[in-house]
Amino acid sequence: MNISEIPYWLLQIMLIPALSPFFIGVTCRIKAIMQNRRGAPVLQPYRDLRKLFQKDEVISEDASWLFRAAPYLIFAVTLVIGASIPLVTTALPNSYTGDFLVVVYLVALGTFFLALAGIDSGSAFGGFGSSREMMVAALTEGGLVLSLLTLALISKTTNLAAISENIGSLPLTSFTPIILAFISFSIALLAETCRYPFDNPATHLELTMIHEAMILEYSGKRLALMEWASANKYLIFIALGANLFFPRGIAGSLEFVPVMLALALFAGKVLLFCLAIAIIESSIAKLRIFRLPDLLFTSFVISVIAIGLVN
């Protein structure tokens, strides 16, 4: 590794965990404004994390090592993914974990341990949270993999940085399958990040929860890690959506000016995603749980069509 790459690698690794709470805060703030509320400051999630890191924990007597280890593992997984996907530049060589299948199944690994941790404490809420999460995750996988596969087929590579570079250089006329794949990916994004219409991140009703039900037994530092990991996952999926489907503006080299411009543009794109998600969460009701599969199948079918359109 060239010594001049180090600052850019640091940026790449730090960007997701450093900014993810901010964008959670931004989404909440936009939602609040759209609902005629003032809302908490956008930096509130950082304060919540600091508060939780200072708190003691209560761990159920019935919980095993798995319950204790899961937050570290899940958080670490999001760090690895965050370091592997194209964020502001496509020029960082990353041939091991930068493959889209690796990323998708690293996400699945996190989900797997999250679900195990939910069951592990023995609480009924964790149990049904995990069971619902597994139902949603299993059905999301198809749309997620196939929508990214569409991009891989178009650019004839499975490396995410290469996909990003390639899609950015395509003429506008070849965008039909990409737009279809993006629609399919967006549905998967909402499901994977526990957003409307799948899950309500703001709910306090135990019986309706999916993600929150699994982490209900966590407190203190481990809860902070869980919350932080889910914020990371949120930003990771938005970054994938922004940089794979609309990669224009991402830096193709490791020079200061293009990277900084790309960073600003990246922040702008993420804000647009946050705005769209906030609009969805303010304007529709959550779906009934057994209507979720319909939506996920739609995602699957659209991405199949997208693949069919790739020439």
Partner 1 sequence: MNYEQIIKRYIPHYAETAVHGNIIAFEVPSSEIVAVCESLYLHHQAPLKIITAFDERQENGLFRIMYAFGLPKENLILAPYIRVGEDFPSLTPSFHEASIYERKIRTFFGLIPRCHPNPRPLILHENWPENIFPLRKDFDWRTRPEQAGGEFLFRKLGGEGIYEIPVGPVHAGIIEPGHFRFSVAGEEILLLEPRLGYSHKGSEKLFEVLPLADKLRLAERISGDSSFSYALTFCQALESLSGTVVSDRDKYLRVVFAELERLANHLGDIGAIMTDSGFNFGGAQCGRLREAVMQIKERLTGSRFLRGVAKIGGVTPVLTEDAARETSESLEALKMDFEQVMAIAENSNSLMNRLRNAGILSYAIARDHGVLGVAGKAVGLAADARVDYPYAAYHELGMEVATEKAGDVHARFSVRIREAYASIELIRQALGVVPQLAGEVGAPGLKFRRDSFAIGIVEGWRGDIVCLVATDSSGEISRVDLRDPSFLNWTALGYAGQENMVPDFPLINKSFNLSYSGNDL
Binding site for partner 1 (CB under 8 A): 31, 34-37, 124-125, 127-128, 132, 196-197, 200, 202-208, 216, 281-291
Measured over the CA atoms of residue 212, residue 46, residue 279 and residue 77, the dihedral's sign is negative
Exposed / middle / buried, residue 66 (Cβ in 10 Å: 0-12, 13-18, 19+): middle
- What is each CA distance from 269 to 51, 261, 300, 307, in whole angstroms? 30, 12, 25, 25
Closer residue to partner 1 (CB): 236 or 277: 277
Closer residue to partner 1 (CB): 112 or 128: 128
Closer residue to partner 1 (CB): 4 or 36: 36
Q: What's the closest the beta carbon of residue 168 comes to partner 1, in angstroms? A: 35
Distance separating alpha carbons of residues 83 and 282, to the nearest angstrom: 32
- What is each CA distance from 285 to 197, 276, 279, 297, in whole angstroms? 7, 15, 12, 20
Closer residue to partner 1 (CB): 132 or 222: 132
Q: What's the closest the beta carbon of residue 208 comes to partner 1, in angstroms? A: 4
User: Cis omega before residue 197 (within 30°)?
Assistant: yes
Closer residue to partner 1 (CB): 126 or 143: 126
Neighbouring CB atoms inside 10 A of 310's CB total 17
Q: What's the closest the beta carbon of residue 294 comes to partner 1, in angstroms? A: 12
Distance separating alpha carbons of residues 156 and 149, to the nearest angstrom: 10
Q: What's the closest the beta carbon of residue 131 comes to partner 1, in angstroms? A: 8
Residue pointed to by tokens 């989900």: 111
Distance separating alpha carbons of residues 24 and 26, to the nearest angstrom: 5
Q: What's the closest the beta carbon of residue 298 comes to partner 1, in angstroms? A: 15
Q: What's the closest the beta carbon of residue 146 comes to partner 1, in angstroms? A: 26
Closer residue to partner 1 (CB): 11 or 216: 216
